[in-house]
Structure 1
Amino acid sequence: MWARGSLWPKVILFGDSITQRMVMKTIPRKTTKVIKLWFHWKQCHRLRKCDVLNRGLSGYNTKWALSVLPKIITQPANQETIAAVIVMFGANDSALKDINPVQHIPLTEYAENLKGVVQYLKSIDICEDKVIMVTPPPLDESAWEKECIAKGSKLNRYNSVTNQYAAACVKVAEECGIDVLDLCTLMQMKNQDFCSYLSDGLHLSEKGNTFLETHLWALLVKKTERLPMILPHWSNVDHLNPEASFPV
């Protein structure tokens, strides 16, 4: 039963810029400028049971993520409930070492870092059944190369390498006994053209975010289905005496 002062359970999104951009909507205008509007992730409205917190860190790899994780997710307080933590890293780790050594993380180290994230969460009583791992999406090399050239660089990622990191993510999740969404494989199934899922070759487009949401929802429901509604559905509110419908 909800009581005044209770904290809403949290769903935490922890990842790189792909995660960070889940809460950004880009609207092109007639001018060359672009307006970015912040909006709540759709899951927040669908859940109606949790706060959805975005902790996406643009440019971060798993090494940096593991270092800052204790500052991002701390030991839950007495009344605080973590309903789920969604972990999505790999797009930066998979950068080519000879071209982008700053963000690159070797494949074996990437896997160990993901295990480290799970181990830390367990150490603060966020168990495996509350964690969902999401692989990086596939890479559209042609589109991303244009982005790299515009920034004065060469193509610094390959889709074949991204697929290796996605496979490593899936393996870690299986070894740790946690749910995983293999976004990389799903977007490439039956040789489908996945380019429309990406806005610039690397980050998700609006269509890509919708694709992610659709497949993630089933996993997220499993984490939250037993949580009570914190406030009553509107149809259960006494319209003549609404205060009587809300717990003290």
Structure 2
Amino acid sequence: MRPNIVLFGDSITQESFRSGGWGASLADAYSRKADVVLRGYGGYNTRWALFLLHHLFPLGLTKPPVATTIFFGANDAALAGGTSERQHVPVEEYKENLRKIVRHLKFNSTELSNEAQAANKFVENHNKNGIELTNGKAVVNEITSGRATVSRQDLGSLFVNPACRFLFLGIFIIFECSPTMLIVLITPPPIDEEGRMEYARETYGEKALTLPERTNETTGVYAKGCVELARELGVRSINLWSKMQETDGWQKKYLRDGLHLTAEGNAVVFEEVVKVFKEAWLDASEMPYDFPHHSEIDGKNPEKAFQQKCL
């Protein structure tokens, strides 16, 4: 089965499968080697994205993604008091929301409406999950941040299933979901304030407000917070805000309306994502095809190629 690469973000991700989009280019680069799965939600900020986590990345996946890009911040950075105030999220909350998303992907346990009760049920049904306890049951007392404190007699040292690893260390049960997943945080792009005002006048005419809804300076604060958090959590990041501004005339070259990407802007994102993937371990040129290349198939004995590749 091909591995999955998930693109999780706002409209800049949602639009990435359009012609020339960075997601479409990524799907082409990993063609027949990985499936690029689009999970982009136009207008969303990190606060709203949290409601999607258990739907998009549920616990117990038999095939969790090998990589996930997290690309939010353009809407979080909308100015309080501006026309897009509804989307505004304070920068510290933005960072905390990103932290929750990363933790969910790396170290989430389960979605619990009644945590202690659900955890007790989990332990009582341990045999169904393949977990072996010796000298009696473990009784879960509480769960906090993916850790369950337990009273115990004796616990097995390690159990692994295809989706999650359960580590029994002392009196802690630690749930690790896809600990090897490559996670990449992408900062919001820079803002062309003049371009945003031009877009507003063209779209709304006389109804367009004269005050900016976003500023490049404010968005830069969110970009800095994103990079700092990635460093703190030990995950990779792409500082798109800084990268794009290295080019003269970036405002019109990379942004079609002061915020969303042109074809050239999409190319920058694609190149940066591929660069990070290669620096990690997800190099498309080194990944095998899921099934034999046509040149490997003998026209008189095609079965042989599939036996060698698939069995």
Higher RCO (C-alpha under 8 Å, 6+ residues apart)? 1
- Compared with structure 1, are the counterparts of its residues 56 and 185 closer, same or farther at alpha carbon in structure 2 (3 Å cutoff)? same
Moved more, 118-127 or 86-95: 118-127
Asked if the contact 1:129–1:179 (Cα under 8 Å) also holds between the matched residues in 2, the reply is: no
Aligned residue pairs: how many? Answer: 229
1:159 paired to 2:216: yes
- Name 1:103's counterpart in structure 2: 87
Residues 1:192 and 2:248 are matched in the alignment: yes
Tell me which amino acid in the other structure corresponds to 1:244.
Answer: K
Letter in 2 for 1:171: E
- Which residue of 80, 102, 107 maps to 1:123? 107
Which residue, out of 131, 134, 138, partners 2:186? 134
Aligned amino acid, residue 79 of structure 2? L
1:8 counterpart = 2:2 = yes
Residue 83 (structure 1) shift: 1.2
Cα drift, residue 147 of structure 1:
2.2
Give unpaired runs (5+ residues) of structure 2: 109-176
Aligned to 1:114: 98
Contact 2:64 2:178 in 1 (8 A): no
What SS is found at the alignment partner of 2:86? coil
TM-score w.r.t. length of structure 1: 0.85
Q: Deviations over 1:5-43 (max 9, x none)?
A: xx32100000000011111138xxxxxxxxxxx997122
User: Residue 172 of structure 2 corresponds to which residue in structure 1?
Assistant: none
Structure 1 residue aligned with 2:68, among 85, 110, 113? 85
Matched residue SS, 2:19: strand
Deviation of 1:82 after TM superposition, in Å, equals 1.2
TM-score normalized by the length of structure 2: 0.68
Structure 2 residue corresponding to 1:180, chosen from 217, 220, 237: 237
Give, in whole Å, the separation in 1 of the partners of 2:61 and 2:95.
Answer: 30
1:57 is the counterpart of 2:115 = no
Say which of 253, 275, 282 aligns to 1:224. Answer: 282
1:234 to 286, 289, 294: 294
Corresponding residue SS for 1:102:
helix
Match of 2:147 in 1: none
1:124-182 residue CA offsets vs partner (Å, 9 max, x unmatched): 51337510111111111111112233334432000111111111100010000001011
Q: Contact conserved, 1:148 with 1:156, CA < 8 A, in 2?
A: no
Between structure 1 and structure 2, the one with the greater Rg is 2
Comparing 193-202 and 233-242, the one that deviates more: 233-242
CA distance in 1, matches of 2:272, 2:216: 21
Query: Contact between 2:13 and 2:23, CA under 8 Å: does it hold in 1?
Result: no
Partner residue, 1:33: none
Ranges in structure 1 where 5+ consecutive residues have no aligned partner? 1-6, 27-37
Instruction: Compare 11-20 and 65-74 and name the one that shifted more.
Output: 65-74
Answering whether residue 27 of structure 2 is matched by residue 44 of structure 1, we say yes
- Percentage of matched positions with identical amino acids: 34
Indicate conservation of the 8 Å contact 2:106/2:181, yes or no.
Answer: no
